[in-house]
């Protein structure tokens, strides 16, 4: 009988009987030479199996587990300390060119307004409101007096960002669970990095004399601080801030995306608790009026801020309307905003869930970025 | 879509696969070096992003296999490879355990005399991987796996006899 079965096929037939086609099985039944070869091959396979079966040992699993944990920890030691300049810039720039005003809105104005409404209320946002900013608004806001120019700013300690290569290491350092996407676009390179900035407290105290001196140097007219504002103190505690990078990783010291665009070939996820705010003194209505009367605060921005109905429960999010549109969405039932680039080449989703502020930004379609946000299971 | 190997899945993989991958590594590099290879792979698995649990198992075996083969390549000669084989110092054991350990050592000594590719093929098959999976891990055509296994089995039998006869 011609066309005997190859020994490699016969060997596979020992382990995977379904491999033979029906005519090959028929041949095996009929062909004595192939049957004999098959028996030899099977016996040899069984011998090898028997030899290998004698090689059994019981490893000390507990000891092994401990050693693996030790190695895993050493693999995920902090890679480096990011330069000081990266401390806050990355968060601010996540939302784009309107970042400067975000700092003012999120960390000073909104809490004051909230406090003004109710003396004992802590700022507890549970929803978001877009604040539309034109390019002219953004330019104007960049020129408003900085907090350091109208008062004294101090931080509880010097905080540094730390970069990690794994989620587990970042979580250990941050000491909070870090939400991470269950979905990422298939085209994204499978690399990731984490930047964690520990919690910190910023304390700000109005200083009318310093504000006057600063204004004089800049030839600006700052309205006199009303009674109750001078000496008013506000402290805001926030963090840990966690920024996750997926895809093209930032080079060391440049952990922020292009400030005028969406991160390309990259997804950036950020999370931070909403700031816990405490005011120690002062007439908050007066403070609010004073802040809005500062030079270069655009009239339309003032109107939008005043129009927020629930200031103590609303986190204002600046949106650059020249490039983007914003619409209200929900992310797994939590209130959020989808901010899209008109060109369709990028989007940001921001949302609040259980006191944590989340954002996902990427150079992908709004649908993709929304899908990433939803996959985080917050 | 990828999953991250979190502690729960990691624990399951550890429970289910540690012995298997350790056996694979032992068959290539011997017990002392095997623990190092396997523990390193498991440490890297924790937190890795992998498609699913099945791919995680493949990843684990592939990683252990490649690291073990790298280790054996560095041990240039067969003699050097056999030096890798003995177990670390053992506490005194009852006679049946001693016999069991001696048999095990003979198997490992025989395995150490094989070409690393043969040892890897035998171990992967013994661990239950299909021919396609073995082909992928060893980077050979699927059709070649049967031949590889046959030659490996014949060589193992021969080397085991040799080790037995030289007791």
pLDDT in tens, A114-159: 333 322 233 556 778 787 777 787 777 777 777 777 888 877 766 7
What is the rounded distance in angstroms from the CA atom of residue B25 to the CA atom of residue B72? 10
CA distances from B13 to A35, A357, B8, B47, B50 (A): 40, 34, 9, 13, 13
pLDDT at A41: 93
pLDDT at A75: 62
Query: What is the DSSP secondary structure assignment for residue A311, as one 8-state letter?
Result: G
Q: Is A90 in the same domain as A49? A: no
Beta strand segments in B7-160, E: 49-50
Dig out the tokens for A57 from the structure: 């040992």
Does residue A211 register a pLDDT over 80?
yes
The shares of helix, strand and coil residues in chain B, as percent rounded to the nearest 5, are 75, 0, 20
Residues of chain B with pLDDT under 70: 1-6, 47-52, 73-98, 167
Number of domains in chain A: 2
Q: How many CB atoms lie within 10 A of CB A324?
A: 24
User: What are A266-312's pLDDT values in tens digits?
Assistant: 888 989 887 766 666 555 566 667 777 777 788 887 777 777 766 66
The helix or strand, by DSSP H or E, that contains position A39, with its residue range, turns out to be helix A32-53
List CB contacts (< 8 A) between A167 and chain B: 4, 47
3-state DSSP assignment of residue A233: strand
Residue corresponding to tokens 């382990």: A15
- Of A311 and A21, the structure prediction assigns the larger pLDDT to A21
In A16-150, which residue ranges form alpha helices assigned H by DSSP?
A: 22-30, 32-53, 61-75, 86-94, 99-104, 110-117, 135-142, 147-150
In the predicted model, what is the mean pLDDT of residues A6-16? 91
pLDDT at B3: 55
Residue A34's pLDDT band (cuts 50, 70, 90): very high
Asked if B107 reaches chain A (Cβ–Cβ under 8 Å), the answer is: yes
pLDDT at A257: 44
Q: A192 vs B49: CB contact, 8 Å cut-off?
A: yes
- Check if the beta carbon of residue A236 is closer than 8 Å to that of residue A124: no
Q: Is A11 in the same domain as A113? A: no
- Give the domain range for residue A47: 7-53
Q: Is A43 in the same domain as A164? A: no
- Check if the beta carbon of residue A244 is closer than 8 Å to that of residue A268: yes
Q: Is A46 in the same domain as A149? A: no
What is the rounded distance in angstroms from the CA atom of residue A242 to the CA atom of residue A195? 6
Phi-psi map region of A159: left, alpha, beta (phi>0 left; psi -120 to 50 alpha)? beta
List CB contacts (< 8 A) between B19 and chain A: 59
User: What are A47-92's pLDDT values in tens digits?
Assistant: 888 888 877 666 788 888 888 887 777 665 443 333 333 233 233 3
Asked if A5 reaches chain B (Cβ–Cβ under 8 Å), the answer is: no
Q: Is A96 in the same domain as A46? A: no
Q: Is A112 in the same domain as A252? A: yes
What is the rounded distance in angstroms from the CA atom of residue A331 to the CA atom of residue A352? 9
- Check if the beta carbon of residue B155 is closer than 8 Å to that of residue B115: yes
Asked if B22 reaches chain A (Cβ–Cβ under 8 Å), the answer is: yes
φ/ψ of residue A25, rounded to 5: -65, -40
- State the number of CA atoms in the 13 A half-sphere of B133 facing the CB: 20
Query: Which residues neighbour B74 within 8 Å (Cβ) at sequence distance 6 or greater?
Result: none
Confidence check on the interface: ipTM exceeds 0.95, yes or no: no
List CB contacts (< 8 A) between B22 and chain A: 59
Residue A224 lies in a domain: yes
Q: A64 vs B39: CB contact, 8 Å cut-off?
A: yes
What is the rounded distance in angstroms from the CA atom of residue A80 to the CA atom of residue A77? 9
List CB contacts (< 8 A) between B40 and chain A: 71
The helix or strand, by DSSP H or E, that contains position B35, with its residue range, turns out to be helix B31-45
Domain ranges of chain B: 3-165
What is the rounded distance in angstroms from the CA atom of residue A94 to the CA atom of residue A188? 19
pLDDT at B93: 54
Which residues numbered 221-240 in A keep a CB inside 8 Å of some CB on B? none
Dig out the tokens for B70 from the structure: 């790298």
Q: Is A220 in the same domain as A290? A: yes
């Amino acid at each position: 009988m011609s066309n005997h079965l190859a020994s490699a096929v016969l060997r596979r037939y020992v382990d995977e009987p379904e491999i033979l086609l029906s005519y090959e099985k028929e041949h095996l039944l009929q062909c004595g030479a192939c049957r004999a070869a098959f028996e030899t091959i099977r016996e040899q396979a069984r011998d090898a199996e028997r030899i290998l079966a004698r090689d059994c040992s019981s490893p000390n699993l507990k000891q092994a587990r401990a050693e693996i944990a030790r190695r895993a920890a050493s693999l995920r030691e902090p890679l480096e300390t990011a330069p000081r300049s990266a401390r806050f810039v990355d968060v601010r720039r996540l939302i784009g060119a309107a970042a400067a005003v975000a700092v003012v809105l999120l960390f000073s104005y909104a809490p004051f307004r909230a406090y003004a409404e109710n003396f004992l209320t802590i700022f507890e946002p549970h929803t978001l409101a877009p604040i539309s900013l034109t390019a002219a608004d953004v330019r104007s806001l960049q020129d408003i007096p900085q907090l350091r120019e109208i008062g004294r700013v101090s931080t509880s300690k010097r905080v540094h960002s730390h970069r990690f290569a794994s989620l587990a290491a970042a979580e250990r350092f941050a000491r909070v669970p870090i939400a991470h996407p269950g979905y990422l676009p298939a085209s994204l390179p499978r690399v990731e990095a984490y930047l964690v900035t520990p919690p910190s407290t910023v304390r700000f105290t109005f200083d009318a004399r310093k504000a006057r001196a600063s204004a004089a140097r800049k030839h600006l007219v700052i309205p006199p601080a009303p009674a109750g504002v001078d000496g008013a103190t506000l402290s805001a505690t926030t963090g840990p801030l966690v920024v996750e990078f997926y895809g093209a990783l930032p080079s060391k010291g440049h952990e922020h995306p292009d400030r005028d665009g969406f991160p390309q070939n990259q997804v950036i996820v950020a999370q931070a608790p909403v700031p816990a705010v405490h005011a120690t003194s002062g007439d908050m209505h007066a403070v609010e009026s004073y802040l809005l009367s500062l030079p270069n605060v655009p009239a339309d921005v003032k109107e939008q801020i005043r129009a927020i109905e629930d200031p103590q429960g609303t986190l204002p999010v600046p949106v650059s309307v020249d490039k983007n549109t914003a619409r209200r969405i929900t992310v797994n039932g939590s209130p959020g905003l989808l901010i899209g680039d008109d060109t369709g080449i990028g989007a940001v989703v921001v949302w609040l869930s259980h006191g944590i502020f989340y954002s996902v930004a990427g150079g992908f379609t709004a649908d993709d970025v929304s899908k990433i946000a939803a996959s985080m299971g917050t | 879509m990828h999953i991250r190997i979190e502690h729960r899945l990691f624990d399951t993989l550890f429970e289910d696969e540690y012995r298997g991958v350790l056996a694979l590594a032992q068959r290539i590099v011997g017990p002392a070096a095997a623990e190092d290879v396997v523990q390193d792979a498991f440490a890297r698995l924790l937190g890795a992003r992998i498609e699913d649990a099945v791919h995680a198992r493949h990843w684990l075996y592939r990683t252990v296999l490649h690291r073990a083969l790298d280790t054996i390549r560095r041990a240039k000669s067969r003699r050097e490879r056999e030096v890798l084989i003995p177990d670390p110092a053992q506490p005194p054991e009852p006679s049946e355990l001693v016999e069991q350990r001696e048999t095990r050592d003979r198997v490992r000594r025989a395995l150490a005399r094989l070409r690393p590719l043969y040892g890897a093929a035998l171990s992967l098959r013994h661990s239950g991987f299909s021919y396609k999976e073995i082909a992928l891990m060893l980077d050979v055509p699927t059709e070649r796996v049967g031949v590889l296994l046959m030659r490996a089995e014949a060589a193992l039998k021969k080397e085991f006899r040799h080790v037995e006869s030289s007791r």
